[in-house]
């Protein structure tokens, strides 16, 4: 057990790597989760009720009529309103930086033109808009604006009432809204923010473990150390087994640290969620942690320098998380990419996480699906570990030759 203890001591000496790779990357996961799934404690309540998505919108009113003022107020009430100046640079800035998902430009004479068109049966003058390339929320706002203008057009075509009255009728009509409810489930589901956190945990659990293991145990590959070990009574097999055990402990510690960090941060929003759901998600992540551990073992057996270890671990992590659909949903990619992703462990881990998130309750079917995904991920770990053993043996034999 001496080698095992030494290996653990070596890894422990690199505690700063733990702090950087595990904590810093976990914090990145929290940032990502906050951006998509809401805050830490607040996410549970946000998930429990439905609120319509509000796009960021701005209005440039070049008309100044009662119609344009009412339309501006409508946009303000149905969006997260932002102020944008009327100028080429300001509009470019708003579009380029995505300051507003939707910028409505009401041309001069629009209000009068709409009324005249409605009463003569012609087409209303066009409103101009700048729709953001980021997401469909700008298109949503555009649809709402067209609806508002069409309602005013229809009322103006039907009635000769003054424009102020027509506008007030249209404003009154906006109160008619469809009631929206959230489907009830037997058990409370996992909050979105925690799902995103777990999805991003694939990075530290794979790349972090690999980099820590490969860098932390670098000195065990030092030629002088290898010579001393070769002259000692510790057999080659025993040495490899003890180092492997130390690497496995290292992987477990990283997984536990990441899991504990997530549970500590999201414990408020996880209240009411069945512990089995959380356990299933952590089980899938543990399987991926084993893959990271095996990959670290492979890097260690290949004897790469610490710089190469960092580079390879991070490149592999980026590719893995990308193909898993952590960065961009795999649904948005082509069928070829999804087929390719199926040959990576991250895909199956994220699939298991998604299955738990979407399941209305923890059932035997869900447990079986997550277990099969986790088993598949663990098989990747076994194959990589096997390759590492073979590569390490071949390398040692070459060194002796």
> Which residues in 139-158 contact other proteins (CB under 8 A)?
139-140, 142-147, 149-155, 157-158
Round to whole Å and give the CA distance between 13 and 217. Answer: 10
Q: How many residues does the chain have?
A: 401
Question: What's phi and psi for 61, nearest 5 deg?
Answer: -100, 105
Segment 240 to 299, residues that bind other proteins, using CB under 8 A: none
Least distance in Å: CB of 1 to other proteins? Answer: 26
Nearer to other proteins, 306 or 393 (CB): 306
DSSP track, 61-93: ESS-SHHHHHHHHHHHHTSEE----SSHHHHHH
Q: How many amino acids of this chain bind other proteins (CB under 8 A)?
A: 120
Binding of residue 97 to other proteins (CB under 8 A): yes
The minimum distance between CB 314 and other proteins, in angstroms, equals 6
Asked if residue 252 lies in contact with residue 338, where contact means CB atoms within 8 angstroms, the answer is no
Contacts of other proteins in 328-357 (CB under 8 A): 328-329, 332-337, 357
**CB-nearer residue toward other proteins: 192 or 378:** 192
Q: Near other proteins by CB under 8 A, which window of 186-194, 247-255, 366-374, 388-396? A: 186-194
Among positions 198-237, residues that touch other proteins (CB under 8 A) are 211, 215
For other proteins, the closer of residues 157 and 390 by Cβ is: 157
Stretch that binds other proteins, among 4-12, 167-175, 221-229, 366-374 (CB under 8 A): 167-175
Closest by Cα among 253, 326, 328 to 296: 253
In the sheet with 56-61, reading across from the earlier edge strand, the strands are 80-81, 56-61, 102-106
Which residue lies nearer to other proteins by CB, 240 or 366? Answer: 366
- Report the C-alpha gap between 70 and 273 in whole angstroms: 45
Residues from 35 through 54 that contact other proteins (CB under 8 A): 35-37, 47, 50-53
Q: Cα–Cα distance between 37 and 190 in angstroms, integer?
A: 11
- Name the burial class of residue 77, with classes exposed (0-12), middle (13-18) and buried (19+) by CB atoms within 10 angstroms of its CB: exposed
* Interatomic CA distance for residues 106 and 145, integer angstroms: 11
Question: Residue 217: which of 317, 313, 305, 308 has the closest Cα?
Answer: 305
Q: Give the residue from 108, 18, 9 showing the smallest Cα distance to 67.
A: 108
Of 1-9, 87-95, 249-257, 295-303, which segment contacts other proteins by CB under 8 A?
Answer: 87-95
- 100 versus 240: smaller Cβ distance to other proteins: 100
- Residue range at the interface with other proteins (CB under 8 A); choices 159-167, 255-263, 287-295, 369-377: 159-167
Compare residues 4 and 327 and give the one whose CB is closer to other proteins. 327
Q: Which is nearer to other proteins, 97 or 398 (CB)?
A: 97
Closest contact distance (angstroms) between CB of 139 and other proteins is 6
Bridge partner residues of 104 (DSSP): 59, 129
Name 105's bridge partners. Answer: 60, 128
- CA-to-CA distance for 384 and 304, rounded, in angstroms? 16
CB of 401 to other proteins, least distance (A): 23
CB contact set of 239 (below 8 Å; sequence gap of 6+): 3, 229
Q: Which of 41, 99, 108, 302 binds other proteins (CB under 8 A)?
A: 99
- Measured from the CB atom, is 180 or 401 closer to other proteins? 180
Q: By CB under 8 A, name the one of 41, 66, 108, 124 that touches other proteins.
A: 124
């Amino acid at each position: 057990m001496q080698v095992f203890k030494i290996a653990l001591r070596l890894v422990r000496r690199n505690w700063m790597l733990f702090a950087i790779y595990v904590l810093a990357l976990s914090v990145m996961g929290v940032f990502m989760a906050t951006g998509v799934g809401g805050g830490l404690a607040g996410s549970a309540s946000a998930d429990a009720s439905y609120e319509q998505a509000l796009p960021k919108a701005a209005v440039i009113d070049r008309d100044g009529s009662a119609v344009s003022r009412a339309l501006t107020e409508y946009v303000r009430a149905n969006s997260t309103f932002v102020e944008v100046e009327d100028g080429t640079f300001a509009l470019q800035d708003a579009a380029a930086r995505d300051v507003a998902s939707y910028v409505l430009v009401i041309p001069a004479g629009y209000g009068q033109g709409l009324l005249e068109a409605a009463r003569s049966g012609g087409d209303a003058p066009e409103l101009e808009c700048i729709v953001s390339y980021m997401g469909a929320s700008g298109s949503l706002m555009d649809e709402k604006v067209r609806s508002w203008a069409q309602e005013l057009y229809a009322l103006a075509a039907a009635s000769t009432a003054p424009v102020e009255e027509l506008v007030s009728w249209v404003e009154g009509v906006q109160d008619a809204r469809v009631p929206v409810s959230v489907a009830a489930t037997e058990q409370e589901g996992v909050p979105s923010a925690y799902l995103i956190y777990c999805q991003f945990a694939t990075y530290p659990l794979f790349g972090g473990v690999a980099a820590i293991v490969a860098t932390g145990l670098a000195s065990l590959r030092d030629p002088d150390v290898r010579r001393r070990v070769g002259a000692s009574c510790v057999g080659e097999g025993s040495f490899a087994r003890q180092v492997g055990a130390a690497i496995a402990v290292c992987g477990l510690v990283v997984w536990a640290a990441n899991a504990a960090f997530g549970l500590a941060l999201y414990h408020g929003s996880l209240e009411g969620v069945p512990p089995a759901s959380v356990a299933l998600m952590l089980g899938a992540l543990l399987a991926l942690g084993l893959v990271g551990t095996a990959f670290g073992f492979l890097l260690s057996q290949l004897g790469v320098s610490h710089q190469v270890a960092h580079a390879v671990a991070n490149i592999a992590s980026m590719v893995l998380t990308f193909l898993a659909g952590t960065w961009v949903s795999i649904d948005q990619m082509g069928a070829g990419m999804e087929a390719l992703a199926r040959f990576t462990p991250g895909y199956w881990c994220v699939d298991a996480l998604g299955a738990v998130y979407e399941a209305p309750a923890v059932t035997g079917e869900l447990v079986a699906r997550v277990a099969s995904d986790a088993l598949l991920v663990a098989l990747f770990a076994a194959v990589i570990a096997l390759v590492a053993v073979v590569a390490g043996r071949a390398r040692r034999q070459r060194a002796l030759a």
